Amino acid sequence: MNSSSIFRVIRQFRNIRNEINIHEFHSITASRNCLQIQTNCSPSYILPNFNRNTVSIVIRNYAKGKDRKKEKGVGKVVINENEMAQLVNVDSLKKQMESPISLMKESFIKNLSLRSSAGSIESLVVTLDGEEHMLQELAQISRKNPKTVILNMATFPQAIPEVLKSIQNSGLNLNPQQEGTTVFLPIPKVTKEHRENLSKNAKQLFIKCRDSIKDVQNKTIKSLKRKDGVSEDLVRNIENQMKALGDKYISEAEKILESKQKELLGD
């Protein structure tokens, strides 16, 4: 059977497939007098009037889109913690993957508020002489009125440059104004641009979280491959389960991100 005959066979098969609603089949076999179509779920179908030497054509599954969706879950990795425990400390692994999500959620609360609360400002991290401090440890924080926060830096005036840098990099959309050892923080109006900037900051925090989970995943997988006297099939199976576990936590973090972005953007 030459190539033009093959294509003609396939075209004719597709026409019949549409009429009889065949979604899966194994092969098409052309013999001297007919064409036989072998399916997965029904008897063979015959197309007559083919006078060629016998030849088999194995063709991919032409399942319709809706059938592909149904088959999407086929081959999904099942996470078996008992099996994983043979080579991995599962509790420790889960805690390591949960930790970045907890940090991301904490950062969302502290740093991504539509209204820059005093709590968010107090918990800003300031690096001074190589050590990290919360802003409330270095300054007396008060409110002059609902629209202005005041930082009294008289106790640690040497920290003012680092405090200003921390505030500007906080993502809180604050524009500090210094007068001597006092720093004034006008609370900005909530604008569309401010909302979009906060949403971008949320995405960056999610990426950091995702990468941390992948780092835990990859580090543990590398340790698996260094184990001696262990079946390669077992290692491969547990490696796939670990990847699925990491994807599960990343998916959880992504849902938290989506929820936060809707809140920030007002969707």
Q: What is the pLDDT of residue 42?
A: 44
Q: What is the pLDDT of residue 25?
A: 44
Residue 34 gets the label, from left (phi > 0), alpha (psi -120 to 50) or beta, of beta
Q: What is the pLDDT of residue 41?
A: 46
Angle at 101 between CA 98 and CA 104, to 5 degrees: 155
Residues 88 and 60 in one domain: no
Q: What is the pLDDT of residue 203?
A: 95
Is the pLDDT reported for residue 105 higher than 90?
Answer: yes
| Boundaries of domain holding 160 | 115-186
CATH number, position 129: 3.30.1360.40
Q: What is the pLDDT of residue 10?
A: 55
CATH number, position 91: 1.10.132.20
Is the pLDDT reported for residue 190 higher than 90?
Answer: no
Residues 10 and 63 in one domain: yes
Residues 224 and 251 in one domain: yes
Is the pLDDT reported for residue 199 higher than 50?
Answer: yes
Q: What is the mean pLDDT of the chain?
A: 77
Can you tell me the distance from the alpha carbon of 183 to that of 192, in angstroms, rounded to the nearest whole number?
26
Q: Does residue 110 form part of some domain?
A: no
Q: What is the pLDDT of residue 57?
A: 38
256/172: higher pLDDT? 256
Residues 135 and 14 in one domain: no
Q: Does residue 67 form part of some domain?
A: yes
Residues 91 and 211 in one domain: yes
Residues 172 and 157 in one domain: yes
Is the pLDDT reported for residue 217 higher than 50?
Answer: yes
Looking at residues 116-132, what average pLDDT do you find? 78
69/115: higher pLDDT? 115
Q: What is the pLDDT of residue 40?
A: 47
- Proportion of the chain above pLDDT 70, given as a percent: 69
Q: What is the pLDDT of residue 173?
A: 72
Q: What is the pLDDT of residue 18?
A: 47
| Single residue among 186, 220, 245 that ends a domain in this structure | 186
Residues 8 and 69 in one domain: yes
Residues 203 and 86 in one domain: yes
Give me the number of domains the chain comprises: 3
Q: Does residue 253 form part of some domain?
A: yes
